[in-house]
A and B are shown apart, each in its own frame.
Chain A
Amino acid sequence: MLAPEKIWWKPLGRMEKTWLTVALVWCIFLTVMMPLWYYMGKQNVPTETYRTTPTQFNEKVTAFVEQYKIGEDTINGITLPVVEAPAGSDVYIRASTWQWYPILQLRKGETYRLHLSSMDLGHGFSLQPVNINLQVVPDYDYVATIVPTATGEFTIVCNEFCSLGHHTMIGKIIVK
């Protein structure tokens, strides 16, 4: 709080030097981990993105559902199509207040290109219980290349506030 002496530019003590070096090495390690995982890890944040509009994206979703629909299921009392596309293909999930559309059926160990976009507000794609979370932003077609590693029913929770019915926005992915 008080003014320092005239000349305060002094060499660091032994402990300060040691801590500074160790902390810097730790920071470098933290930095290196990200590119390392980027090239070697199997879980990376998707970056592939395209410009879109709600109308454009909706057309693609509708065509996708028409082509590959295999059945129906209900979530919160609303009937939704269940859709299974061949392994390796593009699959779509459309977010809108307050629905994830449609229900996807995937195969364990196969690769899919999952397209996410929103019809209205920002939404949060939160796949449970695997706990993968991605931001869904209107006007952006966000493509995640995914490989399910377990079978079962997985729930999509919306985790970006999208006005009053936000907590009712639930979707489903089935992995066989």
Chain B
Amino acid sequence: MAALAPTTSWTSGAKDDYRVCGVTTLKVDMHTERLIIANAVMAVVCLALGGIAALLIALTRWQAIHLLDAAWFYRLLTLHGIDMLVAWVVFFEMAGLAFGSTVLLNARHAAPKLAWVGWGMMTVGGLLANIVVLLDPKNTVMFTAYVPLKATPLFYLSYILFAVGALIQVITFFINLVVAKREKRFEGSMPLVVFGLMSAAIIATFTLLEGAAAIVPAFFWSLGALESYDPGIYRNFFWGFGHPAQQVNLAAMVSVWYMLAQMTVGIRPVNEKFSRLAFILYLFFINLGSAHHLLVDPGLSFAWKAVNTSYAMYLAVLGSMMHAFSIPAAIEIAMRVKGHNKGLFGWLRNAPWNEPGFSGLVLSMIIFGWIGGVTGVTIGTEQINMLVHNTMRLPGHFHATVVGGTTLAFMAFTYYVIPLIFRKELKLKKWASWQPYVYAVGTALVSLGMITSGLQGVARRNWDITFAGVVPGTIDMTLAIFGIGALISVIGGIMYITVVLVSIFTGERKEAAGLLLVSGTNNPLLESTQLTEEQMESKQNQPRGTFVLVFAFLVWFAVYYLTNWWLLGRTWFIR
């Protein structure tokens, strides 16, 4: 067994406090290391549970197969939502927050005990949710559990435990930041990635508080202590939790994008001000997004809906469009500096496409932006939402953002966490190289199949749409596209979990030898510090290719958006 790096102490007296990572030269707090491992393990467990449910419900909605009966379909759909949309991503984000608030600042974990309490509550809550949904048919209420659909008290309790646990871990993130600053572990401004994670943590704080506002009364209502609970109010508070929770994913995912780009290509942010401003826009405007789910609800005015759904003036969208430029631009500049300077896209041809961190990043950005982002803004338009609400276009949109975007980015990042944090040799590297492609193709098909089904009126969360008797025959085709995509996605998911499990259980425990997994022995992270101002600003290194790409994106955006207005104009008059 190869020797592991020695540990040193932050203060005199104590032992085993931190180690210095030979690859990144960063200090890794040992408490943080264990917390990252614990959170990551729970994340993967939840992903596996949610993935099994995904396979079975997809094979049911694929009308030609129609596998499960109605009771099991709705039950597993409830489970799938909880495990994937909440548990998997939030556990992973907690690992990310622990990492960002200590390792990236060369700082110690200032409140490990508190963080473990949070992790424990999340674990109990997450597992409890799975158990009560599986064992008690009363808890088949979907992840949204819209009042007056009543679940058992244990169901709400599991949500509360999970959310409070998450809140506690988020609080330790802030504690770490304050202590690191006070102990002068870093100088000047914090790194951009930590800044991005901090915006995710701030969004997470009010998200979880709103979750409490929705779920705590529901808990008492289901106990019988509260006689009635206004369903409109519940929907408002629930989405104050449910939607911003996805924006936590967004901010965390963008932070991971910056990390992957720096680790695989050695980027330097083109302009720190530009990127930080984009995160600030998320902070200020993203909280309005709960309106997206209430656009065709009774009781709300046009003005309220229009202001909220557009994030005041699409300013959070602006933030994403800024990142959509700044990340590929940084990659392009870094590649051009390395000499890949031919034509508009020579830098792309020469990029490390076999490196999972790079392919995962690019595919995640494409699916998130070109499918998820464009459809999201479109269906979040007040009037257009009437064509879309609760049809399959909805899950079509968020499978592109949360699965093709966030999940894919997190998966790609995991491959680096295993050697660097778990300190296990990554096994099955070929599988890891292919996995992002398989998963991306599958998820893109899932999304497109859902969107095209929804365009034909197919309802989401519906065991058998043929009862309606009116749906056109072409839905057999679009639902089959969705089903085949789901199978491919599940294969990608199995590849991911296999690589992770095989590496953890059979990989040799040793210090990582290099940063890149398959595409070279160089260290892009350290190279990125060598990029000079002159290189970044020289005329021949300017991101011309990216400039063309973002305008192509805008054209596609406009075409899709305007087509939807045209579709709306063809339907019944309504006011």
Would B302 and A139 count as touching, CB distance under 8 A? no
- Is the pair B385, A45 in contact by a Cβ cutoff of 8 Å? yes
User: In the complex, what residue of chain B is closest to A125 when comparing beta carbons?
Assistant: B296
A155 near B468 with CB under 8 A, answer yes
- The CA-CA distance from A150 to B537 in the complex, in Å, is 60
A1 to B190, CA, bound (A): 9
Instruction: Pick from B269, B294, B299 the residue with the most CB of A within 10 Å.
Output: B299
Inter-subunit contact A43/B573 (CB<8 Å): yes
Q: Verify if A87 is at the interface (C-beta below 8 Å from B).
A: no
Contact residues, B141-155 vs A (CB, 8 A): 141-142, 146, 148-149
**How many of chain B's residues have a CB under 8 angstroms from any CB in A?**
104
Closest CB in chain A relative to B187 CB, distance in Å: 7
A2–B529 CB distance below 8 A: yes
Q: Mark A141-175, 1 if CB is under 8 A from B, else 0.
A: 11011111110001101111111111110100000
**Smallest beta-carbon distance B436→chain A, Å:** 20
Inter-subunit contact A133/B390 (CB<8 Å): yes
Question: Does the CB pair B142–A43 fall under 8 Å?
Answer: no
Q: How far is the CA of A147 from the CA of B390 in the complex (A)?
A: 22
**Pick the contact of B459 from A10, A23, A129, A159 — CB < 8 Å?**
A159
Contact: A163 with B140, CB < 8 Å?
Answer: yes
Q: Which of B316-324, B360-368, B396-404 contacts A (4 or more CB under 8 A)?
A: B316-324
* Distance of A87 from chain B, by nearest CB (Å): 14
Q: Contact check: which of B74, B235, B389, B547 meets A137 at CB < 8 Å?
A: B235
A43-B383, A159-B462 known; A170 and B528 CB under 8 Å? no
Q: Identify A162's interface contact among B149, B193, B329, B568, CB under 8 A.
A: B149
Known: A45-B305, A122-B146. A132 touches B386 (CB 8 A): yes
What is the CA–CA distance of A93 and B469 in the complex, to the nearest angstrom? 20
Q: Which of B141, B386, B469 contacts A133 (CB 8 A)?
A: B386
Q: If A16-B325, A45-B295, A167-B465 touch, does A23 touch B318 (CB 8 Å cutoff)?
A: yes
State whether A28 touches B313 (Cβ < 8 A): yes
- Which B residues are in CB contact (< 8 Å) with A16? 270-271, 274, 325-326, 329
**Tally of chain A residues near chain B (CB < 8 A):** 82
Partner of A23, one of B186, B321, B385, B460: B321
Q: Encode B455-482 as 1/0 by CB contact (under 8 A) with A.
A: 1110111111101111110000000000
Q: Which of chain B's residues 219-275 have a Cβ closer than 8 Å to chain A?
A: 230-232, 235, 258-259, 262-263, 269-274
List A contacts of B525 (CB < 8 A): 1-2
Q: A166 contacts B461, CB within 8 Å? A: yes
Instruction: Kindly identify which residue among B149, B272, B385 contacts A122, using a CB–CB cutoff of 8 Å.
Output: B149
Is A63 interfacial (CB-CB < 8 Å)?
Answer: no
> Is B460 a contact of A159 with CB atoms below 8 Å?
yes
Complex Cα gap A52–B296 (Å): 18
B210: interface (CB < 8 Å): no
Q: Which of B455, B471, B572 has the most CB of A within 10 A?
A: B572
Contact of B41 with A by CB under 8 A: no
Proximity bits, B547-575, A CB within 8 Å = 1, else 0: 10011001001100100010011011111
Cβ-neighbour of A134 out of B230, B296, B315 (below 8 A): B296
Is B5 at the interface (CB under 8 A from chain A)? no
Say yes or no for A55: interface residue by CB 8 A criterion.
no
For residue A170, which residues in chain B have a CB less than 8 angstroms away from its CB?
Answer: 467-469
| Nearest neighbor of B103 in chain A, beta-carbon distance | A1
Partner of A30, one of B381, B385, B572: B381
Q: List B contacts of A132 (CB < 8 A).
A: 386-387, 571-572, 574
Q: List the A side residues contacting B568 at CB < 8 Å.
A: 41, 43
Determine which of A15, A147, A164 lies in contact with B547 in the assembled complex, contact meaning CB atoms within 8 Å.
Answer: A15
- Is A4 among interface residues, defined by CB-CB distance under 8 A? yes
Is the CB–CB distance between A1 and B259 below 8 Å? yes
Query: By the criterion CB–CB under 8 Å, are B571 and A121 in contact?
Result: no
- From B148, B263, B317, B558, A121 is in contact (CB under 8 Å) with B148
22 contacts between A and B (CB under 8 A): A1-B24, A2-B191, A3-B186, A12-B271, A13-B270, A13-B542, A23-B321, A30-B314, A30-B561, A34-B310, A34-B383, A44-B574, A46-B298, A128-B468, A128-B471, A132-B387, A134-B296, A139-B232, A155-B468, A160-B461, A161-B149, A164-B70
Kindly list the 4 A-B residue pairs having the minimum CB-CB distance in the complex, ordered from nearest.
Answer: A159-B459, A142-B298, A8-B272, A27-B314
